[in-house]
Structure formats: structure tokens, C-alpha cells
Amino acid sequence: MNTESFNNKVVLITGAAGGFGTLLAKHLSTAGAKLVLSDRNEQGLTELRKKLSGDPANITTQTCDVTAETEVAALVSTAVENYGRLDIAINNAGMSTPMKLLIDTTEEELDLNFAVNTKGVFFGMKYQIRQMLTQGEGIILNVASKAGLGGAPKLTSYAAAKHAVVGITKTAALEYAKKNIRVNAICPYFSPTPMVTEGMDDSLQDMLAKASPMKRLGTPDEMVTAMLMLINPENSYLNGQAIAVDGAASAL
């Protein structure tokens, strides 16, 4: 993939201290992007910054709880104050509560999934789009899930929140397409990032791998390759899509 398109682009990533966010930051830093990286984990951000190969002046880190609208707004303001604009935003921060049947799911678990996975994306888009409207262009990628495209047994609240992400992605794409703002979502199958591996034992991961038509989980690198394709400025007519990267699981 041609990564020259990212040179000098201002890119904001939430949930940057682990999983897909860290891999994205590494790729984009190498490509010459100006990065605004956020996470709740301040130490993780500090460690990530040390690992990046780009010009330190082009790397800004800021703690942000995506469930707090004021903190999300401040993050976008930091991007503009430091670099003058916001070209690409990746709403990657997410979480999941322990797997359980719908009838055993608590209101607190439902609220937490919607607070992080849905409201976090909504708040991000609200302020990212406002800035992009002043520029006349912009690219947004929301990290949803295959669970946002179909049923996900024992992940009711997570699936509901990720379906909502797909819905607001498509709605925003329609609202702002004529303003040259592209909004897409990626819908990965289970991938061995910390969010997955910390919540599942090996036997469950093995079961999920066997459930995939490709008989394995997708690697984080495979997911990030697709994400880079979706945010590439040259990919300028791809808009309003929820792209499944799932080894054909959604084709069943």
C-alpha cells in the first residue's frame, strides 16, 4: 500500500495505547503523519511515544476518557491548536464486558458498553466533523465489529452498542457526503488484541478460531492493513460502509 498519502496528514487516534491503535500509530508515524494519540492509560501513551519513529514534534499524546464529552472536545481542539487542522480521525477506543447470556446481563454492563463503544464514537464524530466542516474535507473511521453486523451470542450489550456504531456511521456519511467528509466503519472478527485475550481463555479462542471459515482468528496486522486502506486519502469514493474483515464469517 502506498503510505506516502499520509505524509503530513493530521491523524487523531483514540484507544491508541494498545491493540489496533498502537499498530496504526506505528504505521502512520513511519509514513510521516502528524499524530494526536489518546487513551485513558497515560503510562501506555508514554511508552507508545517512545516506540514511534516519527519526528517527536509530530506526536502529541493526551489522556482522554471517550465517555466524557468535554474531554473528547478538548482532544480535537488540541489537534487543531498543535497542527492547524484534523485530516483523519480514527475512533478506535472500545471495550467489552464478560460474556454472558442476555438474561444475565446487567443494566450496568449495558450502560458501560454504550458509554464507551457508542457514545465515545458519537462524541468523537460530533467534534471531528465540526472541525472538518471548516476545512471542507475529512476522513473518519469508526471501529465497530462483526458483532455490529449480526448476532453475537453472549455479547448482547456489546453487539447492541456496535450495531449503533454502524448506524451512526452510515447516517453521518449521508449527512456530510456533499461536504467531502467520508465516514466508514471497520467490523473485525475476533482478533488477539489485549481486549480479547484478557477476557478469554485459550479454549474459547480456539473455539472462535474454528468457527471462522478460515479456521483462525484474524491477526491485528491484518485488521490494521484494512484500516489503512479505509483511511487512505486516495480511496476517496469509499463512503458510508461497514466493512467486515472476518475471514468470510459474515458470508455464512
Q: Is the pLDDT of residue 10 over 90?
A: yes
Place of cell 484500516: 227
From the list 181, 178, 179, 143, the residue with the least C-alpha distance to 161 is 143
Instruction: Report whether 61 contacts 49 (CB < 8 A).
Output: yes
Say which of 83, 158, 176, 189 is annotated catalytic.
Answer: 158
Asked if 158 is an active-site residue, the reply is yes
Q: pLDDT over 70 for what percent of the chain?
A: 96
Instruction: Report whether 90 contacts 185 (CB < 8 A).
Output: no
Task: Look up residue 36 and give its three cell numbers.
Answer: 494526536
Angle at 17 between CA 12 and CA 20, to 5 degrees: 75
Predicted TM-score (pTM) of this structure: 0.94
Sign (positive or negative) of CA dihedral 121, 19, 137, 35: positive
Task: Look up residue 156 and give its three cell numbers.
Answer: 448482547
Sign (positive or negative) of CA dihedral 126, 132, 169, 109: negative
Per-residue pLDDT tens digits for 45-56:
999 999 998 899
Per-residue pLDDT tens digits for 69-108:
999 999 999 999 999 999 999 999 999 999 999 999 999 9
> Which residues lie across from 61 on neighbouring strands?
37
pLDDT, average across residues 207-219? 85
Mean pLDDT taken over the chain: 94
At residue 188 the predicted structure's pLDDT band, cuts being 50, 70 and 90, is very high
Would you call 91 exposed, middle or buried from its count of C-beta atoms within 10 A (0-12, 13-18, 19+)?
buried
pLDDT, average across residues 221-228? 95
Distance CA 103, CA 165 (A): 23
pLDDT, average across residues 168-188? 98
Q: Is the pLDDT of residue 170 over 70?
A: yes
Name the more confident of 209 and 13. Answer: 13
Other CB atoms within 10 A of residue 240 CB: 16
pLDDT (0 to 100) of residue 189:
87
Place of cell 453486523: 149
pLDDT (0 to 100) of residue 1:
57
Q: Is the pLDDT of residue 200 over 70?
A: no
pLDDT, average across residues 231-235? 97
At residue 63 the predicted structure's pLDDT band, cuts being 50, 70 and 90, is very high
In the sheet with 138-143, reading across from the earlier edge strand, the strands are 59-63, 34-39, 10-13, 88-91, 138-143, 181-188, 242-245
pLDDT (0 to 100) of residue 111:
98
Phi and psi at 126, nearest 5°, equal: -55, -45
Per-residue pLDDT tens digits for 131-166:
999 999 999 999 999 999 999 999 999 999 999 999
At residue 198 the predicted structure's pLDDT band, cuts being 50, 70 and 90, is low
Q: pLDDT over 90 for what percent of the chain?
A: 82
Sign (positive or negative) of CA dihedral 238, 6, 167, 222: positive
